[in-house]
């Protein structure tokens, strides 16, 4: 046991150390700032417009790259042995099916309800009565 730990300690110092930490910090901050910038820009776009969807797509790509930097560098996975990385990453590919199948299912469910259940569509088109001022901030 002692032998294993000693050899672990020796081989653990791969990766760039402090410099790499600061580099990844800057990358993560820049990516977050970009996401926020896109989020602010999106507010002025019409609801359900093409450019809005495009911006959402870009934000999702930025999100995935942030995840890559956190897992790869902060969690050190990029510097682990390839077989170890594969035991973590390969199961995650299940998400590809998971996301596509379920979002498509939700979408078709909405379409079916709007097509076949007239009442449902009409109910969801009712305007919400606007609250009178001062009714907020009240504990129930």
**Among residue numbers 11 through 30, which ones bind other proteins (CB under 8 A)?**
11-14, 17-18, 21, 25, 28-29
**Min separation Cβ 25 and other proteins, Å:** 5
Q: Among 30, 39, 41, 115, indicate the residue that binds other proteins (CB under 8 A).
A: 39
Phi, psi of 75 (to 5 degrees): -90, 0
**Are 56 and 63 contacting, i.e. CB atoms less than 8 angstroms apart?**
no
Write 128-137 long-range contacts (CB < 8 A, 24+).
none
**Among residue numbers 111 through 130, which ones bind other proteins (CB under 8 A)?**
113-114, 120-121, 123-128
Q: Does 96 participate in binding other proteins (rule CB under 8 A)?
A: no
Residue 6 CB partners (closer than 8 Å, separation 6+): none
- Residue with smaller CB distance to other proteins, 8 or 50: 8
């Amino acid at each position: 046991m002692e032998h294993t730990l000693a050899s672990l300690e020796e081989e653990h110092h791969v990766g760039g150390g402090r410099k790499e930490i600061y580099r990844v910090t800057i990358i993560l901050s820049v990516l977050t700032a970009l996401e926020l910038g896109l989020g602010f820009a999106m507010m002025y776009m019409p609801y359900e417009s093409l450019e809005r969807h495009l911006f959402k797509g870009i934000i999702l790509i930025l999100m995935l790259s942030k995840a890559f930097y956190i897992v790869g560098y902060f969690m050190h996975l990029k510097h682990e042995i390839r077989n170890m990385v594969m035991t973590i990453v390969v199961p995650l590919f299940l998400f590809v099916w998971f996301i596509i199948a379920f979002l498509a299912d939700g979408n078709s469910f909405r379409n079916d309800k709007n097509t076949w259940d007239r009442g449902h569509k009409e109910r969801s088109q009712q305007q919400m009565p606007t609250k009178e001022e001062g009714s907020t901030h009240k504990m129930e």
